[in-house]
Chains A and B, each alone.
Chain A
Amino acid sequence: MSDLVEELLAGKHRALARVISKIEDRSPGYRDIVSELHRHTGGADVIGVTGSPGAGKSTLVDKVAAAYRDRDLTVGVIAIDPSSPFTGGAVLGDRIRMGSNTGDMDVFFRSMSARGSLGGLSTATTDAVTALDAFGKDKIIIETVGAGQNEIDIVRTADTVAVLVPPDSGDDVQMLKAGILEIADLFAVNKADLDGADRTVQQLTEMLHYGDGRSDSDDGWEPPVIETVANSGEGVEAFTSAIDEHLSYLDESGQRDEKKRSRYEAEIRTLLRADANELLAAELAARGGIDQFVDDVFTRGSDPYTVVEEIVAPLRTCLERERE
């Protein structure tokens, strides 16, 4: 076992931080580390919190983390912020809102940037959750802006998904458009002290009762709509108990294991795709790069299908031989 893994399992914060960096950087050896950590996981509840920018996610997460700490539970938070598509730089500002847990090392807060790599973020997030879980965190919260497939994929890996909706966030068509109804296990209308909160709660409730909002509305769980004022802490208790209820619902209905299985399935598929991609990219490079193939296709000397077949065929033959 590597020193880093040993130190992480022994509860050293520095080691945990360093492991997450390695995961983010995909630096040599990170795979072995995550492999070793996997068998130590399974103890944590993973909660995803998503919502539009300014909905109050960070503030609510801060209060929720404090509530868990009051119950003597340890907490890990992964906050994902976008990075610039131009420079790759990022300002990760979610930490500013973590005012209730400052100086408390048992709340491990980590900011991650999207780093512009397709699909890579969800892998990195899953691996970071693995690290926090193996470290022994009771509750792990993933916080992300609910925009785009990438973010949705990430938040889906959670046991419980909470969607934050600010008051007056447009008419009901907007809510349909956002596609958030399908992924939410519970809703929080945050900033409920503002005008328009009642209407938003009402609209959400109506949407949920249309029945067509959720693809799996027959699974016996009705997503509750909770009013919160994260700033003052109002409704935080109701919010955490809703999470608790959903988690015990998952356990009782056996859905938690089902969810885990499908999560692992997705993980395996993602890794397979990534590695196969790499293999093919290396093969392409070994054959002198993609440009000559593009030239051939451009001058009608070849076509995309033929090119792909040319490159993939040896791989297929090789695999077939191995299988026998």
Chain B
Amino acid sequence: MSVDQQSDGQRIRCLVAKVGLDGHDRGAHVIARAFRDAGFEVIYSGLHRAPEEVVQAAVQEDVDVLGISILSGAHNTLVPKILEGLTEYDAFGDTLVIVGGIVPDDDKTELRDLGVAEIFGPGASMEEMIDYVRENAPDRER
């Protein structure tokens, strides 16, 4: 399909967010670019964002997908705060939240229970992630 044909109508919007004291953003950049090349609209948060900032961005930008990149190991503290914030603004229900980073298996279960849809580790391929987003991006009544 050419760009013109799909220029009107829904396009998948993603926020790629770096949260907390974690200065490694190469991965987030690579993903932002891959998402762009897949035809998504990607909003990149920049480094060192507080959970409130990520919430603010996700709500205002009305993203379909929130990808949180955490390599610092603080996911158990930061991700719940973001999810709470999304709930506060009625955005939790129809935002697909995915986490990328190094997350131990026990924590993965916990994050999933909280409402994280999927967690991608170091071995995940771009295609896998893009396909996952395409298939699972919320089908909103727009």
Contacts and interface: CB of A to CB of B under 8 A. Distances in A.
B11 interface: yes
B50 interface: yes
Interface residues of B, number: 37
Interface string A81-110: 001111111111101100000111100111
A173 B45 CA distance: 37
A87 B39 contact: yes
Interface residues of A, number: 38
B37 A87 contact: yes
Interface string B37-76: 1111111111001101100110111100000000000000
B42 A91 contact: yes
Contacts of A224: none
Contacts of A87: 3, 36-39
A91 B60 contact: no
B44 A17 contact: no
A17 B6 CA distance: 21
Contact of A102 (B3, B35, B53): B53
A22 B13 CA distance: 13
B142 interface: yes
Nearest to A77: B60
A270 interface: no
A117 B8 CA distance: 8
The list of the 5 closest CB pairs from A to B, nearest first, reads: A96-B46, A27-B142, A89-B36, A17-B62, A117-B7
Interface of A: 12-14, 17-18, 20-22, 25-28, 83-93, 95-96, 102-105, 108-111, 113, 115-117, 120
19 contacts: A17-B61, A21-B62, A22-B142, A26-B9, A27-B9, A84-B3, A84-B36, A87-B3, A88-B6, A88-B7, A88-B39, A90-B41, A95-B61, A102-B52, A108-B60, A111-B43, A116-B3, A117-B4, A117-B7
